Structures are given as structure tokens and as C-alpha cells.
């Protein structure tokens, strides 16, 4: 296994296990810094949207136009892009409804304990949330891995953006499980394990996609990755950022994320 593959796996592992950071924040901190959360989620969305539309989509189109020509390649790229969006939309529809990975939790949600008849429901909610996030993170792992294989610097940017948005997901898992069990270790374990599906997605990409990689497959996968990233940003990150927005902080974070990504791509070139 060459160095690029190891870097790609490491970046995917880093992004996925950021759910554990969210769990630690929930179980250790006394208050949530909602201003920072709003800016960070907006920043993550800015990175994802900019890199998807400016870099990933273009690379996909270039690969596919080499195979299908200018017009045909562009149409296949568009199909792949919206196919990625549709895939994530369908995935969100079939996820367990009790555990919503898009619902942001804060440390303050832990300040009031449940009544006795709520323990079972909260435990079930935490487990279903962990399952939903694990399923949700699997294609993100594929996206981070494939991006890092193509361009390690690009993979690093995506991994950081994914890691930032995995932090509140870790909180979403640990809060109800801690409520239900009064066990910090168990809450952390479920949160940590929900992020393991991200490196599992990388392994699946390595085993089932890499052996058959061609300009056509690469272009379709990359276009789908762009669609997935944009959908996550619009469906998950920006709504969550706006939930704790003060004085347009989420938009400032969004613009800052785009600017940082734009400057880094210029420096890389």
C-alpha cells in the first residue's frame, strides 16, 4: 500500500472519529459555546460547497469529457452530481426516524434528568441515532477517501470539514444514552463507534472501487461526491448553524470557509 493510500485512510479515520470529540464535549463541558458552533458549522458548509462546485465537479467533468466528449461528458457529470444528492435524500428518508442525525444537541440538553418511564425511550433514541449517523457517515467515508486518493490536499480540506460537522453528531448520540444509563463510558462508546463507519466506507471504496477505477468510474464517483457534499451542507450544516446563529455568524463562517478553501487551492496550484 503506497503512501497516498495511507494518507487517505488516515484522513478518513480522523474525520469519522471526530464524533468522539463531540461526545467528550457533551460529557465534560458545562456549557456549549453556541457562537463557535454556529461559525464552525457555517465554515464547514462553506468548505464543502466551494470545494464541491469549484474543484470536485470540475475534476469529474474533465474525466468524463475525456471519455464521452464535451457535451456527453457534461451531461454524465450532471447526472452523477444530482444522483449523489438523490442518494443522500433517499438515505435520509429511510434512516430510523427516532434518531435524527440532523438534530443538533447541546450540553445544556443534559441539565434535566428524565423521569423513570423515559429511560427506555432515551436509550432507544441514542442507539437509533448512533445507527442513523453510522449509515449517514458511510458515504462520507467513501467521499473523503476518493478525494484524498485524487489529491491529498483536497482530501485534507474535506476531512476537516466532515470532522467539524461530526462533532455535533457525537453530541446527539451521547446525550440521550448518558441520560438513559447515567454511564459516561457507554455514552462515549456508542458515539465513538458511530464514527467508525467512515473509515469502513474508505475500506469499501478501496476494496470495491479502486480495482476498477477508470476515467468513467472516477468521474461518476467524483460527481456523486460533489452532490453528496452540497446536499449535506444545505440539508444539515446550514440549518444547524442557523439554529444558533447570532448576527449572521453562520453566514460569516460560510464565507470564511469558502475564502480559506479558495486561498488554499490557489496556494496548492
Q: What is the pLDDT of residue 31?
A: 57
CB 16 within 8 A of CB 199: yes
In terms of residue numbers, what domain contains 176? 3-268
| DSSP designation for 113 | P
Q: Given CA atoms 231, 159, 133, 94 in this order, what sign does their dihedral have? A: positive
CB 194 within 8 A of CB 170: yes
From the list 21, 8, 10, the residue with the least C-alpha distance to 194 is 21
Q: What is the pLDDT of residue 98?
A: 46
Question: How far is 167 from 177, CA to CA, in rounded Å?
Answer: 16
From the list 37, 34, 42, the residue with the least C-alpha distance to 237 is 42
From the list 148, 264, 198, the residue with the least C-alpha distance to 19 is 198
Question: How far is 50 from 54, CA to CA, in rounded Å?
Answer: 6
Identify the H or E element spanning 1. none
Q: Long-range contact list for 115-124, CB < 8 A, 24+ apart? A: 118/179, 118/180, 119/179, 119/180, 120/180, 122/176, 122/177, 122/179, 122/180, 123/176, 123/177, 123/180, 123/181, 124/98
Q: What is the pLDDT of residue 99?
A: 47
Q: What is the pLDDT along the chain (269 residues), one digit of tens a residue?
A: 578 889 999 999 999 888 888 788 767 755 556 777 788 788 888 888 998 898 889 989 999 999 999 999 999 999 999 999 999 888 878 765 544 445 555 555 554 454 555 566 666 766 777 777 788 788 888 888 988 888 888 888 888 888 887 887 787 777 777 777 778 888 888 888 888 889 999 999 999 888 888 889 989 988 998 998 899 888 877 887 887 666 688 899 899 989 988 887 776 54
C-alpha cell of residue 90: 433517499
Confidence (pTM): 0.74
CB 36 within 8 A of CB 184: no
Say how many domains are in the chain.
1
Question: How far is 219 from 77, CA to CA, in rounded Å?
Answer: 7
Amino acid at each position: 500500500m503506497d503512501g497516498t493510500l495511507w494518507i487517505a485512510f488516515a484522513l478518513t479515520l480522523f474525520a469519522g472519529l471526530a464524533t468522539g470529540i463531540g461526545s467528550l464535549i457533551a460529557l465534560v463541558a458545562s456549557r456549549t459555546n453556541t457562537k463557535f458552533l454556529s461559525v464552525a458549522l457555517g465554515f464547514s458548509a462553506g468548505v464543502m460547497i466551494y470545494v464541491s462546485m469549484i474543484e470536485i465537479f470540475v475534476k469529474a467533468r474533465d474525466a468524463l469529457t475525456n471519455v464521452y466528449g464535451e457535451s456527453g461528458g457534461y451531461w454524465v457529470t450532471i447526472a452523477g452530481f444530482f444522483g449523489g444528492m438523490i442518494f443522500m435524500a433517499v438515505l435520509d428518508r429511510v434512516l430510523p426516524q427516532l434518531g435524527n442525525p440532523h438534530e443538533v444537541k447541546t450540553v445544556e440538553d443534559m441539565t434535566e434528568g428524565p423521569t423513570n418511564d423515559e429511560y427506555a425511550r432515551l436509550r432507544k433514541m441514542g442507539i437509533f441515532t448512533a445507527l442513523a449517523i453510522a449509515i449517514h457517515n458511510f458515504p462520507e467515508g467513501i467521499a473523503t477517501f476518493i478525494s484524498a486518493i485524487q489529491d491529498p490536499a483536497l482530501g485534507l480540506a474535506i476531512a476537516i470539514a466532515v470532522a467539524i460537522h461530526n462533532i455535533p453528531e457525537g453530541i446527539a448520540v451521547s446525550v440521550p444514552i448518558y441520560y438513559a444509563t447515567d454511564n459516561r463510558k457507554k455514552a462515549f462508546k456508542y458515539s465513538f463507534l458511530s464514527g467508525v463507519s467512515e473509515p469502513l466506507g474508505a475500506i469499501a471504496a478501496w476494496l470495491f472501487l479502486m480495482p476498477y477505477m477508470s476515467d468513467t468510474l472516477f468521474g461518476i464517483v467524483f460527481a456523486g461526491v460533489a452532490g453528496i457534499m452540497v446536499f449535506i451542507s444545505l440539508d444539515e450544516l446550514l440549518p444547524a448553524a442557523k439554529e444558533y446563529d447570532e448576527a449572521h455568524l453562520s453566514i460569516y463562517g460560510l464565507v470564511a470557509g469558502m475564502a480559506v478553501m479558495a486561498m488554499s487551492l490557489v496556494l496548492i496550484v
